[in-house]
A and B are shown apart, each in its own frame.
Chain A
């Protein structure tokens, strides 16, 4: 009898931790607060902040999920934050004005764009040593490492190019002309297509990773808005590669894109200058940072509808979900 009660209690406990809304937090970097805002994923409420180095922008967890790397533009370093204690445990120098970065698949090397210098720096995370610097076009921004770790892609906002760089040698293998002010990348899960947002061309360029031909250009349109008001920056894709989500910047909308058809299926109104998009693990909710309204909009993906918009820090840059 006693046995039964214990078992029942266990069941209740398990049900409470239920699969629908996973436990976890979203961390949002705020350029002007030098802090990350912590959001509870279940209640969608702000529960605290984590202080960081100055002007935190791009963030990425280490492959083991234990630490979060936060690139800080004004500190010329990354804060290494222990996710269990939510405390900074180390500073990793990243060179002048680091903006975005990506990690090698083994998590040992960090590739970071240095906006002012127009360089891609390759950094050994364990020792903090700069392994190599590659000169690229001015104001490099988006950086992405191929799944096999052999290639690094970088956008240059000034040169309007995607640079294709060999990770091992640092050799610049190709410059691909895309739209104006290229920003961020998404890669289809088969690795065949590289999608690049063009902030000042209201478009996404689709590149073939085989020969770097521009296969297609997806032009965004929002009813009642001019092309110049549509400034796509953030982009992400579902794991099955069927759907992409693009933050349309000043157009204050997020576009849902059917990847195969390269067509926009939905447009969801969010906050001012929607900037960055992140999916949760279940791909049920999309977290959108609105750079000019200092808030974050949570979108229900299935319904293509905004669920809630909550105030975060000043000039939110991106959200990372820790589940």
Chain B
């Protein structure tokens, strides 16, 4: 067992309320030495990348819920544990269940998250993994996803392109581990919204003159090879190439996807629906701007607090029961709930250039028979998630 275990109990106990039930214990499972949280990665601050640990958002949410929890005579105690691999994640999840925890918040890569989910009957809240497979072929009944899926991001972007009538799209795909899969998700979104894929090309970060066709933005986007296009959609999980692409295309066209205009769960400059207060509270507590994964962690904290308020006297299982049925306010202007078919939190998406919010998705005029938010991501009739019990 290589699990380095840090324990930090945040007791949100009430001074005034008379009879307080035993606190709901929640475990935050984190990846030890997470490469996404290395200083160099945080300093680059690419759009859609991490801004810091999930703990920050969770902690803010639980602290600001204190009043509501107090009023209901209940409390939530947060512990955190860092794990070094999937096996350690599995062990930590099993231990949490034995120790009487009520829920697990997972800030883990997909495979580690699945290992943890399969080792426990506790609800598991995913705050940082966007992989569609966790909502589709590898979905699990008790896993709830606070962060939008890759497909939700792609749908939001495709809707925005339709709204702008930027219909001819050039797709550039990187060599990263998940880039091919993410590019396929982007292509499906283009198809769903009737956009035209002009061409798809791989790119590579390289200064080697022999590879310039793969690495030079002007050549990659030159009209001689690709003709005309309205926008360049770049899929680049690493982020360095994407970051360098805007203003370097052969034609004066916008870049979208992983740089330029990006679809995210949150952006710190969002001005509406009380969002500035949320961003400000977070920045005050964490000393940095609130990014999408912070919002997801914050929402996990809000969901846990709301579930605790729904069944304040316990037992721990009451929390698991309440979670999937919640209607949550995430300061995005509309109540949000978890999709019954895959556990994904339905939510509006923000289209941002990193300086502000340019547009919201679902875009105006994109409709759905039941809930317009369900135009983003996998919908019920597709039956893509057949959960293991």
| Set of chain B residues within 8 Å of A228, measured between Cβ atoms | 334-335, 371
Interface size grouping (class) on chain A:
20 to 34
A158 with B64: CB separation less than 8 A: yes
Using Cβ atoms and an 8 Å threshold, which residues of chain A touch B334? 200, 228
Given A200-B329, A200-B334, A200-B335: A139 in contact with B277 (beta carbons within 8 A): yes
Q: Annotate B260-284 by CB proximity to A: 1 below 8 A, 0 otherwise.
A: 0000000000000010010011001
Assess whether B85 is interfacial by the CB under 8 Å rule: no
- Chain A interface residues toward B at CB < 8 A: 97, 115-116, 118, 135-139, 156-161, 172, 175, 177, 180-181, 200-201, 226, 228, 231, 250
Can you list 20 residue pairs at the A/B interface with Cβ under 8 Å? A97-B277, A116-B280, A116-B281, A116-B284, A118-B67, A135-B67, A136-B67, A138-B64, A139-B277, A158-B64, A158-B329, A159-B68, A159-B71, A161-B67, A161-B68, A161-B71, A180-B327, A200-B327, A231-B333, A250-B333
Task: List chain B positions with a Cβ less than 8 A from chain A.
Answer: 16, 64-65, 67-68, 71, 274, 277, 280-281, 284, 327, 329, 333-335, 371
Q: Classify the secondary structure of A's interface with B.
A: loop
Contact of B329 among A118, A136, A181 (CB under 8 A): A181
Question: Among A135, A139, A160, A175, which residue has its beta carbon within 8 angstroms of that of B274?
Answer: A139
- Do the beta carbons of A138 and B281 come within 8 Å of each other? yes
> Which of chain B's residues has its CB closest to A140's CB?
B67
Set of chain B residues within 8 Å of A226, measured between Cβ atoms: 371
CB atoms of B281 and A160 under 8 A apart: no
CA distance A156 to B277 in the complex (A): 13
B331–chain A nearest beta-carbon distance, Å = 9
Given the complex, which residues of A lie within 8 Å of B284, measured CB to CB? 116
- Bound CA span A97–B281, Å: 12
In the complex, given contacts A156-B67, A172-B16, A228-B335, what are 7 additional A-B residue pairs having Cβ atoms less than 8 angstroms apart? A97-B277, A137-B68, A139-B277, A157-B329, A158-B329, A177-B71, A200-B334
Q: Which of B16, B67, B280, B335 contacts A180 (CB 8 A)?
A: B335
Which residues on the A side are within 8 Å of B277 (C-beta)? 97, 115-116, 138-139
User: Which residue of chain B is the closest to A73 with respect to CB atoms?
Assistant: B276
Closest-by-CB residue of B relative to A96 is: B280
Q: How far is the CB of B58 from chain A (nearest CB, A)?
A: 15
A52–B67 Cα gap in the complex (Å)? 34
Residue of B nearest to A201 (CB): B335
CA distance A161 to B68 in the complex (A): 7
Q: How far is the CB of B279 from chain A (nearest CB, A)?
A: 11
Partner of A157 from B16, B274, B281 at Cβ < 8 Å: B274
